C-alpha cells in the first residue's frame, strides 16, 4: 500500500504568527498568505510536453496520459495507490533529455475515467496497461521500460511477466512482497488516520509535505492536486481514490510478487528507500545476480518525487547499462561519459 502512517495536520496553519512588538509600526504578516504562496499548485506543462486522454477501443474507458521527450526508448511510468501519473513529473523533465516518458493515471486515479473506477484488481490494472500501450503504439511499439512505484510496481511486474516483446526492462520502486504483505493488517488504521477533508488544494499540499508522505514541496505542488476531488455538498476537497474501499484487492497486488519479479525475462532494477526490505526470495535472487539493487538514501516511500534528479539518473543509467533502445544501441553520451570516467580512474592509478 502507498500511504505511510501520517499524523493529522491542523486545518489552520501550523506556523504561529509572530507577536507584534509594542515598538513596531508594521504588524506581522499573516502566515496564511505565505502558506498559500508556498503550497500553490504547479502546472503539469512545466514538466511534461503533452497531456492527452486516450480512449480504449470497444470500451468507455478513457485514460489520462502525460508524455515527454521525442527520441529513445519509452519509460512507461505506473504510479502507486492514491497517487497519479504526475508523481513522475519532476523526474520526467530530466529523463526526457535522453529518452521518452509516458506516465498514465491508473483506473480510479487522477483524470482517468472508466466504467468501473473501483475495480483495482491486479488483473484489471494489468489489462488496462496492455490495452493502453496497444492503443498508443499499435503494431510498431518502441522499446519500453516499465517503471512502477508501490502498487504500480506490482502492476509493472505482472505486465512484464506477460513477455510482451517490446517490454525491454523493468524498474520497481520501493515495494517488496514481504514488507507489503506484513503491512496489510495495519493498512485500514493507517488510511483512517489520514486527514480526509481540506479547505483548499493548498492545504492538501501542505498536509502531504508536513505529514511526511512527500518530502519535496515542488513535486507535491504538481502531483497532489490530481489526487483530490471537490465535494460540493461539504464544500471541501477529498481524496480522489477511496483506498479504504479497495481492501479486497490488496493481497492480490503483492502475494507472490517476488517470484513473479524474478521470473520476468528482462533486465530488472529494484530501487528501495531502505536496506532492510528484501525478503528471502529477493535476497537469494540478488546474490545470484538476477536483478540490480539500488538503495536510495535520504528519501521517503515516493523516491521519484523526493529525489527526482537522482531517480532520473538511475533510470537513464539502467537504460544505458542494458543498451535498451532502437536496435539495442545505447543512449548517446551516457556510456561514453562512463567510459571516460573509467579511463581517468585508470590513469590516476
Q: Contact, 269 vs 170, CB < 8 A?
A: yes
Would you give the distance in Å from CA 243 to the centre of its chain?
Answer: 16
Between the CA of residue 151 and those of 41, 79, 136, 284, 300, what are the distances in Å? 25, 7, 23, 23, 16
Q: Please give the Cα distance from 153 to 88 (Å, whole number).
A: 13
Residues 90, 91, 96, 101, Cα dihedral to 10°: -100
Active site residue 174: yes
Place of cell 502566515: 31
Between the CA of residue 270 and those of 88, 140, 159, 210, 318, what are the distances in Å? 17, 28, 16, 28, 11
Q: Please give the Cα distance from 173 to 292 (Å, whole number).
A: 12
Catalytic residue among 93, 150, 208, 219: 150
The strand pair at 167-173 and 268-272 is best described as parallel
Catalytic residue among 93, 174, 208, 320: 174
148 sits in which H/E element: strand 144-149
**H runs (alpha helix) in the chain:** 31-38, 89-95, 122-137, 151-160, 177-192, 201-210, 217-223, 247-254, 257-263, 280-287, 303-306, 308-321, 334-348
Report angle CA 110, 116, 119 to the nearest 5 degrees: 85
**Beta carbons within 8 Å of 227's beta carbon, 6+ residues apart:** 82, 83, 84, 109, 110, 239, 240, 241
Catalytic residue among 149, 158, 239, 301: 301
**H runs (alpha helix) in 211-289:** 217-223, 247-254, 257-263, 280-287
Q: Which residues are catalytic?
A: 150, 174, 301
Amino acid at each position: 500500500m502507498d500511504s505511510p502512517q501520517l499524523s493529522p495536520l491542523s486545518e489552520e496553519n501550523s506556523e504561529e504568527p509572530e507577536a507584534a512588538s509594542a515598538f513596531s509600526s508594521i504588524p506581522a504578516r499573516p502566515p496564511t498568505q505565505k502558506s498559500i504562496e508556498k503550497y500553490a499548485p504547479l502546472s503539469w506543462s512545466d514538466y511534461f510536453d503533452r497531456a492527452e486522454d486516450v480512449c480504449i477501443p470497444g470500451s468507455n474507458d478513457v485514460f489520462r496520459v502525460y508524455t515527454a521527450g521525442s527520441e529513445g526508448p519509452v519509460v512507461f511510468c505506473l504510479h502507486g495507490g492514491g497517487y497519479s501519473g504526475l508523481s513522475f513529473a519532476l523526474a520526467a523533465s530530466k529523463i526526457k533529455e535522453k529518452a521518452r516518458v509516458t506516465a498514465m493515471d491508473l483506473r480510479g486515479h487522477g483524470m482517468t475515467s472508466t466504467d468501473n473506477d473501483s475495480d483495482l484488481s491486479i488483473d484489471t490494472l494489468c489489462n488496462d496497461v496492455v490495452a493502453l500501450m496497444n492503443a498508443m503504439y499499435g503494431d510498431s511499439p518502441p522499446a519500453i521500460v516499465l517503471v512502477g512505484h508501490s502498487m504500480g510496481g506490482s502492476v509493472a511486474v505482472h505486465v512484464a511477466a506477460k513477455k510482451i516483446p517490446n517490454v525491454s526492462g523493468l524498474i520497481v520502486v520501493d515495494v517488496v512482497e514481504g514488507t507489503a504483505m506484513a503491512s496489510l493488517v495495519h493498512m485500514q488504521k493507517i488510511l483512517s488516520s489520514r486527514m480526509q477533508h481540506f479547505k483548499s488544494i493548498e492545504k492538501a499540499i501542505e498536509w502531504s509535505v508536513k505529514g511526511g508522505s512527500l518530502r519535496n514541496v515542488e513535486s507535491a505542488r504538481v502531483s497532489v492536486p490530481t489526487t483530490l476531488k471537490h465535494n460540493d455538498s461539504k464544500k471541501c476537497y477529498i481524496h480522489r481514490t477511496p483506498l479504504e474501499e479497495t481492501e479486497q484487492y490488496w493481497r492480490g497486488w503483492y502475494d507472490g510478487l517476488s517470484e513473479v519479479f524474478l521470473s520476468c525475462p528482462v533486465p530488472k532494477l529494484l530501487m528501495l528507500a531502505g536496506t532492510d526490505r528484501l525478503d528471502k526470495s529477493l535476497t537469494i535472487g540478488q546474490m545470484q545476480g538476477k536483478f540490480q539493487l539500488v538503495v536510495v538514501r535520504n528519501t521517503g516511500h515516493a523516491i521519484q518525487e523526493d529525489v527526482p534528479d537522482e531517480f532520473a539518473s538511475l533510470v537513464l543509467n539502467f537504460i544505458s547499462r542494458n543498451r535498451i533502445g532502437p536496435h539495442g544501441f545505447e543512449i548517446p553520451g551516457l556510456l561514453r561519459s562512463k567510459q571516460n570516467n573509467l579511463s581517468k580512474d585508470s590513469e590516476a592509478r
